[in-house]
Amino acid sequence: MKEFIEQRIITAVKKLMIGRVNEIFSNWDMIIPIIDFGSFKTKYVVAPVVSLSGCERTEKERIINQDAYSVSIRFTLQEHEDGELFCYGYAYAFEKALKENVILGGIADRAVITDKKYFPPKKPHCGEGWGVEINMRIIVEGIGNES
């Protein structure tokens, strides 16, 4: 079965999170909920939503046949007294892991974080916690879907 470049990008981002990002957490003194995309739903595990869309290419990217994608990773946490701290931790660890692997294991030519947004609970003490959204721009050679 053919695997499209979009699927490979999402898979690479998820592997980075459950691999290197969780490894970074294991070296910290504080306990932070680990990232997992399975069916676990506890206060010790978080499953961020990873979404992808195409984005506008620069003139240079068009000329050298590169495609640009926008990837958004959104962490929504359960209510916790350290929820805000966890959000900063996820953003920091993901940024560090991405800097170590800007080509996402060979899938991309370049991946960079373009934006980070932190959001508090809409109503404190109602079960909803803090969240963070990390946005990235990923550039891949334009022949990524050809096989």
CATH of domain 5-141: 3.30.980
What tens digit of pLDDT does each residue of 35-89 get? 999 876 677 899 999 999 887 777 877 778 788 899 999 999 888 889 899 999 9
pLDDT exceeds cutoff 80 at 123: no
Instruction: State the Cα–Cα distance between residues 10 and 3, nearest whole angstrom.
Output: 11
Angle ∠(142,17,3) on CA atoms, nearest 5:
35
pLDDT at 131: 94
Sheet with 110-119, side-by-side order of all strands: 49-54, 66-78, 128-141, 110-119
Which are the contacts of 18, defined by CB distance < 8 A and separation ≥ 6?
A: 35, 36, 37
Helix or strand run (H / E) with residue 92: helix 83-100
Residue 112 pLDDT level (bands cut at 50, 70, 90): very high
* Structure-model confidence comparison of residues 129 and 26, the more confident one: 26
Q: What is the mean pLDDT of the chain?
A: 88
